[in-house]
Amino acid sequence: MYLMDPEQDGIELQERNTDGFDNTMEALLPILHQQRTYDYVLVADKVEDQDHPRFLKQVAFIDHLRKKNMKVTKIVHVDKVFYGVRAPKEIFDKYRYLLKVSDSCNWSGDRKCGRVPHSTRIRVVHYILHHTHINTGENLRELQEKGVFEAAFCLHEVKKNIIICIPDYLFNFEGHCRISFSWSYFGEKVALYYLWLGWYTILLVPAAILGVIVFLYALAFFNTSPLIKEVCESDTVMCPRCDKWCQVWQLRDTCTYAKVSPLFDNEGTVAFAMFMAVWATIFLELWKRHKATFVSKWKVFDWCEEEEDLILGVVNDPDCHPKEFCHSYLRSTLVLVLVTLMLILIIGLTQALVVFRVVAAVLLSEGTWEFVRDHANTVAVMLGAVLHYFTMQVMTRVNKAVAFKLYVKKTQSRAATERSFTVKMFTFQFFTLFSSLVYVAFFLGRINGRPGSYVRIFGKWRLEECHPSGCLTDLFIQMAVIMVLKQTLNNIFEFIVPWFKSYFKRTTTKKLERKCGDCYKNACREEERRGHDPCDICKLHDWLRNYDLNDVNFFSLFNEFLEMVLQFSFTTIFVAAFPLAPLLALINNIFEIRLDAIKMVSLERRLVPKKTNNIGIWIKVLEAIGVLAVIANGLVIGVSSDFIPRLVYRYHYGPCANGEENVHCMKGYINDTLSTAQITDLNVRKDFFPSQLITESGFNVTQCSYKDYRNDVDYSLTSQFWLIMAVRFAFVVLFEHVVVIFKCIAAWFVPDSPMLVKNDRLKDKLSRLKEELQ
């Protein structure tokens, strides 16, 4: 519970028990509401010409609000006009009555309260403002787009020490007064975001620990791997890696690369990938239980957003008509075609990145820096990852604009509109993020051909090749660069940009406030001093403080969810190639959850509190990601990594399979994965210049090796290749079936709602029935 301690400059609510969200907090809020006399504030530019269309539309809109019995106070401040809006008690009486007789919303705590929570007042007034039309048919949003009104926002509570209470987290931020707010301050929708983010962060702990253990396991056997020794001591001459400037090279030259590969391509990653696929299901099932506990406490277990929209529509206009359900096959087909074209464009950008990497590798190999020239392919991979990150930043804005144009605006409800937009936006972002990774994971080094028959882009540039130690390191580099850049830079820009915007707006407003002189100094800081009638600027002090903050909209919370769900995708999909992904996600979230809270409280205007009982379509998106994680990790282990080739060699072709004793079972594996190209072959000679076939010691080579399972005479695929292919396919099928079975068992074993919640709801329903009967 919370105890109130009156202080000289405000009210401080001190925590004595932080077990979840305490509804007793609501009992203290009437005191806070004495300081808040307006539900919403509209801001417009001052128009001197009273015949100007903007002035006439301002007056018309305010008149329509007054006809709905809204109290509107107008204050002119320099070149701005502020309108304070407050709804009468009758509107909320009607709203609460309709909640009581509704089908799904009648369990809400709002209808039982002796007062109307400020969050409810804001939500109702917000709906009325945005559904009030002037004679020209324009609503508030359209009037804002045409410059009639500059801004419309609800007000933050006066604050100095704000505490956003969410399970297991307590954040303290310095402001201007001492007040604490419960979960209802931003509404259940924002509370559920923090609840989900907090729960996700907690569940990342075991995943991060296991990922570190897998990494340390590989590090422990770092110096004892026979594969590393075989590469570092090899005298094998490899074929040139690029055209013109690349010469034949010794396999031992890539000793460092060979040492890095086993850190992310070992037996431990197989078990870890299986764990993460099951972890995703367990996380979602436990989240459903966790959420059910809190939405039951908040009295929104059966809440229906569509039904609340109907109630608000009736409150706003008793003669309103519902937005009917509709479906157009023509429109759906058109949207499907346009979405497909957008995805083709995104995949085309991925191909452009592939071309960039190939061309960059060629140019770097021709450079003057010896280190860059010797590691041209690795540097090209890193540059491609950086370019991919910046491409993602640009495409995020393009994707948002396209998704905004494609989603159904005039649908039956706000919730359905959000679902439509979310699905399209996430699909675009998912393809933007993962298209390049899919190429690196499943196509890099597998479609590049062989000496004498290389696959070339536009018949000119050779495609990239994998290192003889495997292709998984390239995928690891791509994921590490993108994840570190994306999380670090996003957090910096998400916080720094709003802070600078708020700082400069605050500086401008303070210059305006100083014009008030002694009145501002004495009256604004002592608002309750009796016998003093402050001037208009003093009355505006709170409004100006909120006006200074950065604007918020639907995308404010959507962007936070999108960022975290994409991170969840990164943490589960392709995690076999990057076991440290959960650890990086955990570190990021520890900062993310605090920065988001600071930003919402101190740098942004107050979000309109929305009631809901779930995280919406995001839960379906997370479930889809869980399924994709099973498929992707199975393919990464079965197709991308060398786990299966090593397994086949150990038990079918290696020394142990042939009965040799006192020798490591993997001895000779690297040489077994290499094929030989004869320089005497005319087709092979056409692919290389004579200068490329000279070693550093000046000898002309007559043959060179490359990674593949081919016959040295006619270059046909060997029987070992087909055996490995069959085992790969069998492993992928087995892996996915086993993991899916475990996922189904986990989903069945963990009920969506705790028995305590079900029993409490049963008792509550019984008590309400008895109450109605009396």
CA-to-CA dists, residue 90 to 96, 120, 305, 316, 433, angstroms: 10, 14, 22, 12, 51
Its pTM surpasses 0.85: no
Per the DSSP assignment, residues forming a β-bridge with 703 are 678
pLDDT tops 70 at residue 681: yes
What value, to the nearest 5°, has the Cα angle with vertex 196 and ends 193 and 199?
Answer: 145
> Hey, what are 562's tokens?
């999108």
Alpha carbons within 13 angstroms on the beta-carbon side of residue 304 total 11
Q: Helices 554-572 & 267-297, crossing angle to 10 degrees? A: 150
Output the pLDDT for position 373.
67
- The answer to whether residues 207 and 589 touch, using CB atoms and an 8 Å cutoff, is no
Residues 599-648 have pLDDT tens digits of 888 888 899 998 888 898 999 999 999 999 889 888 888 888 888 998 99
Sign of the dihedral through C-alpha 452, 457, 458, 461: negative
- The answer to whether residues 81 and 148 touch, using CB atoms and an 8 Å cutoff, is no
Output the pLDDT for position 667.
87
Contacts of 748 (CB under 8 A, 6+ apart): none
Output the pLDDT for position 724.
93
Output the pLDDT for position 662.
81
Percent of the chain with pLDDT over 70: 82
Residues 392-438 have pLDDT tens digits of 888 888 888 888 887 655 555 677 788 888 888 899 989 988 888 88
Q: Three-state DSSP class for 65? A: helix
Q: Three-state DSSP class for 736? A: helix
Q: How many CB atoms lie within 10 A of CB 359?
A: 14
> Which of 180, 200, 202 minimizes the C-alpha distance to 192?
200
β-pairing verdict for 151-153 and 80-86: unpaired
* Three-state SS letters, 16-57: CCCCCCCHHHHHHHHHHHCCCCCCEEEEEECCCCCCCHHHHH
* Residue of 559 and 260 predicted with greater confidence: 559
Q: What are phi and psi of 367, to 5 degrees?
A: -75, 180
């023509």: which residue's tokens?
330
Averaged pLDDT score across all residues of the chain: 79
* Residue of 765 and 295 predicted with greater confidence: 295
> Hey, what are 408's tokens?
């159904």
Residues 134-150 have pLDDT tens digits of 988 889 999 998 999 99
Q: Measured between alpha carbons, how far is 159 from 603 in angstroms, rounded to an integer?
A: 13
- The answer to whether residues 240 and 263 touch, using CB atoms and an 8 Å cutoff, is no
Q: Measured between alpha carbons, how far is 596 from 580 in angstroms, rounded to an integer?
A: 24
> Which of 156, 157, 90 minimizes the C-alpha distance to 124?
90
Output the pLDDT for position 193.
92
Output the pLDDT for position 152.
93
* Average of per-residue pLDDT across 676-685: 87
* Residue of 32 and 744 predicted with greater confidence: 744
DSSP secondary structure code for residue 236 in this structure: P
Residue 770: exposed, middle, or buried by beta-carbon count in 10 A (0-12, 13-18, 19+)?
A: exposed
Q: Three-state DSSP class for 78? A: coil
Q: Measured between alpha carbons, how far is 26 from 181 in angstroms, rounded to an integer?
A: 9
- The answer to whether residues 2 and 21 touch, using CB atoms and an 8 Å cutoff, is no
> Hey, what are 671's tokens?
């040489």
Q: Measured between alpha carbons, how far is 710 from 725 in angstroms, rounded to an integer?
A: 14
pLDDT tops 70 at residue 665: yes
> Hey, what are 555's tokens?
């995308």
Percent of the chain with pLDDT over 90: 18
Per the DSSP assignment, residues forming a β-bridge with 447 are none
Sign of the dihedral through C-alpha 722, 727, 728, 729: positive
> Hey, what are 575's tokens?
């995690």
Residues 298-344 have pLDDT tens digits of 888 888 888 888 888 888 888 888 777 777 788 888 888 988 998 89
Contacts of 266 (CB under 8 A, 6+ apart): 214, 217, 218
Q: Measured between alpha carbons, how far is 398 from 349 in angstroms, rounded to an integer?
A: 13
Q: Measured between alpha carbons, how far is 318 from 614 in angstroms, rounded to an integer?
A: 29
Residues 356-400 have pLDDT tens digits of 877 787 777 766 676 676 667 777 777 877 888 788 888 888 888
Task: Please report, in angstroms and rounded to a whole number, the separation of the first and last CA atoms in the chain.
Answer: 32
Residue 437: exposed, middle, or buried by beta-carbon count in 10 A (0-12, 13-18, 19+)?
A: buried
């001037």: which residue's tokens?
535
Confidence of residue 180 (pLDDT cuts 50, 70, 90): very low
> Hey, what are 375's tokens?
């590691």
Output the pLDDT for position 245.
73
> Which of 402, 420, 403 minimizes the C-alpha distance to 411?
420
Output the pLDDT for position 261.
78
- The answer to whether residues 462 and 455 touch, using CB atoms and an 8 Å cutoff, is yes
Q: 652-678 burial, b if ≥16 CB within 10 A, otherwise e? A: ebbbbeeeeeeebbbbbbbeebbbbbe
Alpha carbons within 13 angstroms on the beta-carbon side of residue 38 total 22
DSSP secondary structure code for residue 417 in this structure: H
Residues 282-292 have pLDDT tens digits of 999 999 999 99
Single-letter amino acid, residue 302: D
Confidence of residue 29 (pLDDT cuts 50, 70, 90): very low
Q: Measured between alpha carbons, how far is 544 from 77 in angstroms, rounded to an integer?
A: 10
């994921």: which residue's tokens?
479
